[in-house]
Chains A and B, each alone.
Chain A
């Protein structure tokens, strides 16, 4: 493990117990039973799955962000650029329409299932487009990214359409609430859906590491070093699709994590893209866990949505980043 991984892993090790104890009901670590009749229940059935989910979702977004920035050779890249997250969100929104017609036993699973189908559809579309853009020299990455952005716009427009045509006010509020990601009221079921997919996705992104390093020298030089653009694209679409798709399926849209985390990690590494993936996963987990614990503690009547909270932190950070880059500090 590198210095950055060790640092963020230690941070995470401190944050996890704190997060489990914090909330509307504060639990005394030395006297769980004395903290109230339901303390053990709250701990095991509410907070532990929620913390686990924050770790899984954050790790996936962090790793995907690091890989995307390496792939696009751009510190402003974000996992959403490929259009996978918006397509997963579109799938989830579709489930609000279709799910009502399904028997209750299946309906509970329809949202994550539809979100994963949306992410899978985006991956297939990207793969089809990749077949047409990755041949020939240079510019393939830029063209491919534009195609991803078009998928994102299209998914965004269709989602907006679904919102404006919502069958009733309740469905409308459900959709809007869900689109602003959150980890409220999640169970272990969601953890079991997201954890294996995210772990597989991070492993795939990790396998792309050395090719991403070669891209530091530009697309042509990387190819001259034996980097296979098609293989790299495949690994990236698969890795980002699995991590981001799984994340959206269980938590909705959570922005800015994939963008910010690699910047927090980069100064602690040798700045090679491959060195960023693992520590970005750990740091992403720490960031989402912290943010989720924070929204839980805030004294609002209804809990602040995690997706909104992260964007509230994220946007000013992004601005600061842009100004710093302008001064040539990156």
Chain B
């Protein structure tokens, strides 16, 4: 089940934030959306999630426009993880993760409970299930919020900067969890700021610049030094083992 943007344009307020974006994303892979601040990364992710309505073109799940799907069907197919950890009430971890079952309406049945338990298990959260979310560390909170998405067993996981505010080890672990999901056949789309993480862990990279798609393809092509210079205005070079996947490359920046 592919997720695609077809000549998609989006206006928010008076500003054109996305122009004529066409991309086909494959399930079973990690797609990274990168770009400078204000390039439209979050807007594209939200449009793909069906939360923003494009004024031209469309976002499609397989061959159906996401705007035409019933909210419940869309919610079952696409799990969306917004940026930041904005949890209004100090509920227990298990109750929060169970919200992921809302599109299925089975939070309290055996099936729903099994899905919640599987999500808690996949992210090593079983020992925290009764803990109020207010007592969790940043890394634990990020895992709980991802577990909420996993509990819904969506075909696609769309996550907006899930690695921001996480330390190195939590970043690597969370990427590992997302890779597991991708290997199980789920499509994973993440907005990233760290180009090295995109280079080393994504299967496919979409580079946005000023609301247009500057490049897309394999990480080594989409994130070449030339491209980084053009899009971010930063001279840089990749060092380390090139072409390996998962690669172990680092970005060295020059200038200033």
Contacts and interface: CB of A to CB of B under 8 A. Distances in A.
Q: Do A and B make up one complex?
A: yes
Interface of A: 73-74, 136-137, 210, 213-218, 220-221, 223-228, 270-273, 330
Given A217-B148, A225-B75, A226-B74, A330 B52 contact: no
B71 A216 contact: no
A214 B52 contact: no
Nearest to B76: A226
A271 B75 contact: no
A74 B86 CA distance: 12
B49, B52, B75, B89 interface centre (most CB from chain A within 10 Å): B89
B95 A210 contact: no
B87 interface: yes
Q: Size range of the interface on B?
A: 20 to 34
B95 A270 contact: yes
A326 B232 CA distance: 41
B89 A221 contact: no
B71 to A, nearest CB: 4
Contacts of A228: 71
Contact of B88 (A73, A136, A270): A73
A225 B73 CA distance: 10
The 5 closest A-B pairs by CB, nearest first: A224-B80, A226-B75, A73-B88, A226-B71, A218-B86
Interface string B86-103: 111111100110011011
B79 interface: yes
B91 A271 contact: yes
A226 B95 contact: no
Contacts of B79: 224
A225 B75 CA distance: 5
B36 interface: no
A270 B91 contact: yes
Contacts of B50: 224
Contacts of A330: 90
Interface of B: 12, 46, 49-53, 71-72, 74-75, 78-82, 86-92, 95-96, 99-100, 102-103, 132, 145, 148, 152
A271 B49 CA distance: 28
Given A221-B81, A224-B80, A228-B71, A136 B52 contact: yes
Given A225-B99, A272-B95, A216 B52 contact: no
Nearest to B83: A220
20 contacts: A136-B52, A213-B99, A213-B102, A214-B102, A215-B88, A217-B82, A217-B87, A218-B82, A220-B51, A220-B80, A221-B81, A223-B71, A224-B49, A224-B50, A224-B51, A224-B75, A224-B78, A224-B80, A226-B103, A271-B89
Contact of B99 (A137, A214, A220, A223): A214
A214 B105 CA distance: 12
Nearest to B43: A137
A217 B95 contact: no
A27 B240 CA distance: 90
A55 to B, nearest CB: 27
A213 B49 CA distance: 20
Given A217-B99, A225-B99, A228-B71, 16 more contacts: A73-B88, A136-B52, A136-B53, A137-B51, A137-B52, A213-B102, A214-B102, A217-B86, A217-B148, A218-B86, A224-B51, A224-B75, A224-B79, A225-B152, A226-B71, A226-B75
Nearest to A224: B80
Contacts of A226: 71-72, 74-75, 102-103
Contact of B91 (A74, A215, A272): A272
Nearest to A72: B88
B60 to A, nearest CB: 17
Contacts of B132: 271
A210 B51 contact: no
A42 to B, nearest CB: 45
A136, A223, A225, A226 interface centre (most CB from chain B within 10 Å): A225
A74 B72 CA distance: 27
A271 B132 CA distance: 10
B96 A270 contact: no
A136 to B, nearest CB: 7
A129 B143 CA distance: 38
A214 B53 CA distance: 21
A249 B51 CA distance: 40
B89 A273 contact: yes
A72 to B, nearest CB: 9
A223 B167 CA distance: 29
A188 to B, nearest CB: 39
Contacts of B46: 137, 220
Nearest to B88: A73
Contacts of A270: 91-92, 95
B180 to A, nearest CB: 21
Given A136-B52, A220-B51, A220-B82, A225 B103 contact: yes
A73 B87 CA distance: 9
Contacts of B52: 136-137
A75 to B, nearest CB: 9
Contacts of A217: 82, 86-88, 96, 99, 145, 148
B224 to A, nearest CB: 33
A138 B90 CA distance: 22
Contact of A221 (B53, B71, B82, B103): B82
